[in-house]
């Protein structure tokens, strides 16, 4: 059974502390929205779908914490909490989606007590729906994978990046559940090592055959025909088909194109941003210490300049297909994305 990353229990948010993996499987409890915001910022919880639900749960906690006596006061309290939560990870569109969904239902309520009740119910429904969406996406995507495929994945788009089951790893799980023999090669995903700490951990936990490679060995792996297909998740997909995902995704896609290996992206409809253009997206810049050291060990000179973007952009011409809960779309993405949402 795959891990459950986040859940609502006794008016608190329980989440796996992903900074402690793979050494310890620890759970943290958040009883107010500022704790949730800190958990998102410090990568205790991460992955676009997971932080979308975390944001929703954070606003539910803010509603319960509020002493507002009128609807207007409650909406103001929620807006303040929303701003704090949004600033934690601005590149991942699911966070904005989760926050706005809660604000929408709050605005439709008549008084503070109804808001408290409805936003908690809505956030819990969003968590349940996330798992169902991932399982449906997995079934659609599994049709693209064959028995005895070896699949490369970058970063962590598994159960730990969602409420449960996963997006890219959900497709791998569904392929295995359908009776296919699937092997996985995971990149370590520097500098925070989500591949080695999280993807390798959860696949091993689920009994799926996984091998780990350094990020620098992707070219070697493809050139030596060690991989049949590649699948990654996404933090934001534009109406043009441009995909924003963990730093390093772009170079994996370039190498896939060079070696004629299909490159797939798995993401729910909540990850799509139909309003922005590529130049509008702000790429989150992470702290330099993630690059200059590993744990407590220093691996670079003092006072060295560091460029540490969290994400990069993969253009649509490098993408073989995008897997969603409503099916798989292929190029021309500007047209197929429009059709996908028109039919939804």
Residue 52, pLDDT score: 95
Q: What is the mean pLDDT of each run of 10 residues along the chain (344 residues)?
A: 85 96 95 97 94 97 96 97 95 92 97 97 96 97 98 96 94 96 97 96 94 98 98 97 98 98 97 96 94 92 96 98 98 97 87
Residue 7, pLDDT score: 95
Residues 6 or more apart whose Cβ sits within 8 Å of residue 101: 56, 122, 126
235 is catalytic: yes
CATH number assigned to the domain covering 6-135 = 1.20.120.420
Rounded Cα–Cα distance for residues 276 and 184 (Å)? 34
Residue 344, pLDDT score: 74
Domain range summary for the chain, segments of one domain joined by +: 6-135, 137-343
Cis, bond preceding 330 (omega within 30 deg of 0): no
Rounded Cα–Cα distance for residues 197 and 316 (Å)? 29
Output the pTM of the full model.
0.92
Residue 324, pLDDT score: 98
Residue 90, pLDDT score: 85
Beta-ladder partners of 15: 6, 28
What CATH number matches the domain at 137-343, 3.40.50.720, 3.40.50.170, 3.40.50.10470, 3.30.390.30? 3.40.50.10470
Q: Which of 130, 206, 215, 235 is catalytic?
A: 235
């Amino acid at each position: 059974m795959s891990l459950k990353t986040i859940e609502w229990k006794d008016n608190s948010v329980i989440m796996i502390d992903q900074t402690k993996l793979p050494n310890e499987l620890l759970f943290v409890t958040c009883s107010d929205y500022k704790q949730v915001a800190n958990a998102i910022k410090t990568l205790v919880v991460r992955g676009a779908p997971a932080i979308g639900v975390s944001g929703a749960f954070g606003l539910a906690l803010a509603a319960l914490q509020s002493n507002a006596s009128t609807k207007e006061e409650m909406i103001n309290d929620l807006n303040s909490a929303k701003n704090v939560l949004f600033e934690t990870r601005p590149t991942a569109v699911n966070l904005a989606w989760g926050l706005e969904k809660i604000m929408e239902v709050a605005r439709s309520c008549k008084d503070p007590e109804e808001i408290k009740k409805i936003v908690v119910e809505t956030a819990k429904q969003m968590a349940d729906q996330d798992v169902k969406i991932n399982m449906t996406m997995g079934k659609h995507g599994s049709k693209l994978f064959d028995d005895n495929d070896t699949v490369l994945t970058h970063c962590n788009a598994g159960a730990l990046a969602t409420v449960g089951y996963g997006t890219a790893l959900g497709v791998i799980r569904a392929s295995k559940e359908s009776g296919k023999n699937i092997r996985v090669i995971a990149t370590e995903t520097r500098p925070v090592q989500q591949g080695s700490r999280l993807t390798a951990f959860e696949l091993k936990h689920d009994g799926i055959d996984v091998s780990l490679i350094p990020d620098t060995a992707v070219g070697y792996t493809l050139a030596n025909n060690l991989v049949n297909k590649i699948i990654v998740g996404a933090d934001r997909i534009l109406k043009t088909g441009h995909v924003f995902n963990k730093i390093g995704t772009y170079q994996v896609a370039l190498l896939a194109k060079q070696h004629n290996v299909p490159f797939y992206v798995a993401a729910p409809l909540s990850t799509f941003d139909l309003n922005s253009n590529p130049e509008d997206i702000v790429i989150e810049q992470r702290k330099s210490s993630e690059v200059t050291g590993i744990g407590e060990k220093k691996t670079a000179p003092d006072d060295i300049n560091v460029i540490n973007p969290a994400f990069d952009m993969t253009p649509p011409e490098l993408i073989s297909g995008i897997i969603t809960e409503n099916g798989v779309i292929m190029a021309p993405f500007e047209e197929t994305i429009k059709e996908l949402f028109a039919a939804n």
